[in-house]
């Protein structure tokens, strides 16, 4: 960086030095107290001394919100970056990273994390301790599994995992009820997902409630305690149109593999009122694996339950 930068532009807020061939950023950077966006992608950063010493203690550590270091030569996430506690967006795509440090959890203000195009093989559970994270991009890596702890990312809206080595998804991923985008293309997702889902028999209260709802037994708020009236209002209709049943707390969870574009198969959860109630849905495209696995639920009805949009293309 040019000497005297802070004297020339003491109120600089955005600095873009992308594609300039930079191999290091000097101490001048530390004297920019108002800088909130630093773009330094497509350079030669990554060697010893490529980031200025004292970065984590400089005023810049408090002001910086957006940092883009994609397209450089970092073999690991520089520890000094984990001291930038005010970061909202961090991009390190297209580097040479082989891992994500557990201390990534220190960036608790992070909303956007881009680590695509590296050589990452695993995801540390500590990544789930980023309460503000909305967009997580881990595409084009070598990731083989997803830790179930990621279900704790309650703010997550978009999860990009395409072009990895995933063979299954943990069922906890379905707890990401606010997820709007999930990209899984280019993964060898297997057709066997979850076979050990258990069924808890209905309670006497649920059996009575099912009878009231399915037989249309008339009742008024004055006939029942307030908590039972509220309970009866929570009945969920079985998705099988041939059934007509309802359920409250006890239902059968099943995994159905949904074919998209005749090529990609996505395992998703659906719910039935009893073990005897088989799903009437079948996928438009046939699977060559087995008859039970080809009996896939309709794409739209499944996706509407757990996510608004699935990106596979």
Q: Please check whether residue 224 lies inside any domain of the structure.
A: no
Q: Which residue has the higher pLDDT, 82 or 263?
A: 82
State pLDDT tens for residues 19-69. Answer: 999 999 888 888 888 889 999 999 999 998 899 888 888 888 889 999 999
- The pLDDT of 84-104, averaged and rounded, is 96
Note the helical H segments in 137-280: 204-214, 226-232
What size, in residues, is the chain? 313
Q: Please check whether residue 170 lies inside any domain of the structure.
A: yes
Indicate which CATH number applies to the domain containing 179: 3.80.10.10
In percent, how much of the chain has pLDDT > 90?
48
Residue 118: its pLDDT value, please?
Answer: 98
Question: How many domains, the chain?
Answer: 1
Q: Please check whether residue 288 lies inside any domain of the structure.
A: no
pLDDT band, residue 286 (cuts 50/70/90):
very low
Q: Which residue has the higher pLDDT, 100 or 278?
A: 100
State pLDDT tens for residues 96-105. Answer: 999 999 999 9
Q: Give the C-alpha distances (Å, rounded to integers) separating 104 from 32, 67, 125, 189.
A: 25, 15, 10, 28
Taking each continuous run of H as one helix and of E as one strand, the counts in the chain are 6, 12
Show the domain range for 56: 5-185
Q: Please check whether residue 165 lies inside any domain of the structure.
A: yes
What is the Cα–Cα distance from 276 to 268, expressed in whole angstroms? 20
What is the Cα–Cα distance from 82 to 92, expressed in whole angstroms? 13
Beta bridge partners of residue 67, listed in sequence order = 38, 90
State pLDDT tens for residues 137-174. Answer: 999 999 999 999 999 999 999 999 999 998 878 878 87
pLDDT band, residue 7 (cuts 50/70/90):
low
- The pLDDT of 58-85, averaged and rounded, is 92
Q: Which residue has the higher pLDDT, 305 or 66?
A: 66
Q: Please check whether residue 54 lies inside any domain of the structure.
A: yes
Q: Which residues contact 238 (CB under 8 A, 6 or more apart)?
A: 244, 245, 246, 247, 272, 273, 277
Q: Please check whether residue 152 lies inside any domain of the structure.
A: yes
Q: Please check whether residue 283 lies inside any domain of the structure.
A: no
pLDDT band, residue 209 (cuts 50/70/90):
very high
Beta bridge partners of residue 183, listed in sequence order = 160, 311
Average pLDDT score over the chain? 80
Q: Please check whether residue 159 lies inside any domain of the structure.
A: yes
- The pLDDT of 115-127, averaged and rounded, is 97
Question: Contacts by 260-263 with C-beta closer than 8 Å and gap 24+?
Answer: 260/299, 260/310, 260/312, 260/313, 261/312, 261/313
């Amino acid at each position: 960086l040019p000497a005297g930068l802070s004297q020339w532009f003491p109120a600089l807020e955005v600095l873009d030095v992308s594609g300039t061939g930079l191999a290091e950023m000097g101490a001048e950077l530390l004297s920019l107290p108002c800088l909130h966006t630093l773009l330094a992608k497509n350079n030669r950063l990554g060697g010893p001394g490529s980031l200025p010493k004292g970065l984590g203690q400089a005023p810049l550590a408090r002001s910086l919100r957006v940092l883009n270091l994609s397209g450089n030569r970092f073999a690991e996430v520089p520890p000094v970056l984990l001291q930038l506690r005010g970061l909202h967006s961090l991009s390190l795509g297209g580097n040479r990273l082989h891992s994500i440090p557990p201390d990534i959890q220190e960036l608790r203000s992070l909303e956007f994390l881009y680590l695509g195009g590296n050589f990452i093989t695993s995801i540390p559970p500590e990544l789930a301790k980023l309460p503000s994270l909305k967009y997580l991009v881990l595409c084009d890596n070598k990731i083989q599994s997803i830790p179930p702890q990621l279900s704790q990312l309650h703010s997550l809206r978009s999860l990009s995992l395409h072009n990895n080595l995933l063979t299954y998804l943990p069922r906890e991923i379905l707890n990401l009820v606010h997820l709007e985008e999930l990209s899984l293309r280019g993964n060898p997702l297997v057709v066997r997902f979850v076979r050990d889902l258990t069924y808890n028999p209905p309670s006497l209260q649920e059996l009575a409630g099912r009878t009231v709802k399915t037989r249309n037994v008339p009742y008024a708020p004055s006939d029942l305690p307030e908590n039972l009236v509220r309970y009866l209002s929570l009945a969920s209709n079985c998705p099988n149109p041939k059934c007509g049943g309802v359920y409250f707390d006890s239902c059968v969870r099943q995994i159905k593999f949904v074919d998209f574009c005749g090529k990609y198969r996505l395992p998703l959860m659906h719910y039935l009122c009893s073990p005897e109630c088989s799903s009437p849905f079948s996928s438009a495209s046939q699977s060559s694996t087995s008859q039970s696995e080809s009996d896939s639920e309709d794409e739209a009805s499944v996706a509407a339950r757990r996510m608004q949009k699935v990106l596979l293309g």
